Amino acid sequence: MASSFGAAQVLVASNRGPVSYEVGEDGSLRARRGGGGLVSGLSAIGPEAGALWVCSALSDGDREAVRRGAGEDGVRMLDIPADVHADAYNGIANSVLWFVHHMLYQTPLEPVFDAEFRRQWASYETYNRAFAEALAEEAAQGAAVLVQDYHLTLVPGMLRELRPDLRIGHFSHTPWAPPEYFAMLPGDIAAQVLRGMLGADRLGFLTRRWADAFTACCERFAGGLGDTAVGVHGLGADADFLRARSHEADVEERIVALRAEIGEGRRTIVRVDRTELSKNIVRGLLAYRQLLDDHPEWRERVVHVAFAYPSRQDLAVYRDYTAEVQRVAEEINERYGTPGWRPVVLHVKDDFARSLAAYRLADVALVNPIRDGMNLVAKEVPVVSDGACALVLSREAGAHEELGEDAITVNPYDVVETSRALHEALTMSGDERADRTKRLAAAATALPPARWFLDQLDALREGPVSR
């Protein structure tokens, strides 16, 4: 146990923190604040709460900020060696744990758990240990620690050994694999992940389905949950922020530009995603192509506005997937396009204002992931929509648990069914779309980010401490 205690009463640990740094040409450091549910949640508890965010330095600018001691109050960045971070983040978290939980492996060829995997796993352990030691050093006696996501599955167990006085929580923002898929991991590694998680007093998941999958894994591979409690907190959209932000001047400018790209009087099918393999963008494009084949009456009357923002481009499989998205979009435009109509308007440069503009213009939102912990796009579009937007939603999105009743549900692998759903959405009456949109928006905002965070914190503080 640590011989002395820090001052922080509430600690959050995550790979990415709330701020990032760039070094200017003159050598000065420029800070850029991030957003999201955790940022909203921590701001909701107020500065007097003694909160600290522990995160990893991700860029050269971040590392320089650490070296200069120039970080912001309330944030501690860990300067983990870049090679260790790369092994842990890309080699294990994003190329193994992400693939397992999203069930993405092409099993005839992968995974291969060889000596290189074991070398990278050692880096993952080192990376998690750095977080555990920093949290142990910074936490006050009996403090609450909220550890985030699959990057840090070992931290609760490591931290429990260092500081048994702490109240430790862990939240998973991804799905959790069912036991038969989780068993793909080497037995000792699977056990280590579960032991690490079960070091927490309380574990949080986005849906009951993911919580039940974790529980089933523990029953099969770890002898049960032990003293660890499991809770469900379905992160909702931040309605006040989204509605205000979506009417700022830069969004209005993007609306004008998008309308020019779409053309006068045309309907819109909108999707906004990162080009992650789980998002299923290619099948969405193929479903749109099927719609144009099966219902030629929609040609020149509808445009698929597809924003596919590059993600994890340092991994070859993601670069290849991004290229395939662009290839299929170009193929559709070449096959069906006319001088006055571009069937697919594809943008690959991240632009939040343009995303909000697309939300406002959407007649149909297409959200068809293969598997998704929640998917906030499905919740954000109904909140921001100017008129009424029909939602075509994969049954494999966590959001389906809350929104499925008023969405048009699809099997994400079934391109024909998805094309039929798009046609149904486009032909839905305005009154029905408006009614559904209201109900979707209400369900989507039931647990806004600040409340989502505070509910977890309250549950952690009120529950018994694991020993």
DSSP 234-256: -----HHHHHHHTTSHHHHHHHH
Dihedral sign, CA of 45, 47, 49, 50?
Answer: positive
In this prediction, residue 42 carries a pLDDT of 66
Q: Which two tokens stand for residue 108?
A: 């005839």
Planar angle of CA 97, 98, 101, nearest 5 degrees: 85
Specify the pLDDT at position 36.
Answer: 65
Do 193 and 243 sit in the same domain of this protein? no
The closest of 270, 293, 275, 310 to 415, measured between CA atoms, is 293
| Residue 1 counted as domain residue | no
Looking at the fold, whether 456 and 370 belong to one and the same domain comes out as: no
Count of C-beta atoms within a 10 Å radius of residue 73: 6
Average pLDDT rounded to a whole number, residues 367-380: 96
Q: What is the pLDDT of residue 397?
A: 97
Q: Is the dihedral of CA 421, 424, 426, 429 positive or negative?
A: negative
Residue 437, token pair as written in the block: 């949109």
- The answer on 244 and 107 residing in a single domain is no
> Domain of 29: which CATH number?
3.40.50.2000
Residue 309: pLDDT band (50, 70, 90) is confident
What was the pLDDT predicted at 338?
A: 96
Cis preceding-peptide flag for 111 (omega within 30 of 0): yes
Residues 184 and 224 in one domain: yes
| CB 392, CB 433: distance < 8 Å | no
Considering the domain architecture, whether residues 31 and 176 belong to the same structural domain is answered as yes
Question: For residue 351, which amino acid is it?
Answer: D
Kindly indicate the confidence band of residue 88, based on its pLDDT and cuts at 50, 70 and 90.
very high
Would residue 3 count as lying in a domain? Answer: no
Angle formed by the axes of helices 187-197 and 155-162, to 10°? Answer: 60
Task: Convert the pLDDT of each residue in 275-298 to its tens digit.
Answer: 889 999 999 999 999 999 999 999
Confidence check: pLDDT of 32 > 90:
no
Same domain for 88 and 207, yes or no, is: yes
Q: Are residues 53 and 93 in the same domain?
A: yes
Nearest to 144 by CA among 202, 75, 99: 202
What is the spatial distance between Cα 419 and Cα 88, in angstroms, rounded to a whole number?
A: 39
Q: Report if residue 467 sits inside a domain.
A: no
Q: Would you say residue 371 has pLDDT above 70?
A: yes
pLDDT for position 317 = 83
Question: Regarding predicted confidence, which is higher, 69 or 188?
Answer: 188
Indicate the DSSP class of residue 406. Answer: G
| Range 18-35 average pLDDT | 85
Give which of 254, 237, 244 is closest to 353, Cα–Cα: 254
Higher pLDDT, 336 or 69: 336
Asked if residue 386 is part of any domain, the answer here is yes
End-to-end CA distance of the chain: give it in Å, rounded: 13
Q: What angle do CA 307, 309, 311 make, to 5 degrees?
A: 150
The answer to whether residue 2 sits within a structural domain is: no
In tens, the pLDDT along 355-365 reads 999 999 999 99
Q: What percentage of the chain has pLDDT greater than the value 90?
A: 84
Q: Which of 17-21, 69-73, 236-240 has the lowest mean pLDDT?
A: 69-73
The helix/strand/coil state of 77 is strand
Count Cβ neighbours within 10 Å for each residue of 198-229 and write b for 16 or more, e otherwise.
bbbbbbbbbbebbbebbbbbbebbbeebeebb
Spatial separation of the C-alpha atoms in residues 41 and 450, rounded to whole Å: 4
Closest by CA to 362, choosing from 385, 378, 342, 341, is 385
The single-letter code of the amino acid at 447 is L
What is the reported pLDDT for 41?
65
Q: Is 57 in the same domain as 23?
A: yes
Convert the pLDDT of each residue in 98-115 to its tens digit: 999 999 999 999 999 999
Range 240-244 average pLDDT: 95
pLDDT class for 346, splitting at 50, 70, 90?
very high
Averaged over 405-424, what is the pLDDT?
Answer: 98
65 is a domain residue = yes
| DSSP percent split of the chain into helix, strand, coil, nearest 5 | 50, 20, 30
Which are the contacts of 264, defined by CB distance < 8 A and separation ≥ 6? Answer: none
> What are the E-state strand segments in 116-260?
139-148, 167-172, 202-205, 229-232
Q: Say how many domains are in the chain.
A: 2
Q: Are residues 160 and 85 in the same domain?
A: yes
State yes or no: pLDDT of 80 exceeds 90. yes
* Token couple for 36: 């999201």
Residues 21, 62: contact at Cβ < 8 Å? Answer: yes
Q: How many C-beta neighbours within 10 Å does residue 11 have?
A: 25
Distance between CA atoms of 36 and 449, rounded to whole angstroms?
8
- Are residues 137 and 228 both part of a single domain? yes
- Predicted confidence (pLDDT) at residue 25 exceeds the cutoff of 80: yes
What mean pLDDT, rounded, does the chain reach?
Answer: 93
* Cα distances (Å, whole numbers) of residue 415 to 282, 288, 342: 10, 9, 21
* Dist. CA 300–CA 263, nearest whole Å: 9
Most confident of 6-10, 62-66, 332-336: 332-336
Q: Give the pLDDT band of residue 33 (cuts 50, 70, 90).
A: confident
Instruction: Compute the average pLDDT of residues 218-233.
Output: 97
pLDDT band (50, 70, 90) for residue 2 = very low
Is residue 47 packed enough to be buried (19+ CB in 10 Å), middle (13-18) or exposed (0-12)?
A: exposed
pLDDT given for residue 1 in this prediction: 43
80, 124: one domain: yes
Residue 37 has pLDDT above 90, yes or no: no
Q: Are 440 and 456 members of one domain?
A: no
Quickly count: other Cβ atoms within 10 Å of residue 230's Cβ.
18
Residues of the domain holding 52: 8-235+449-462
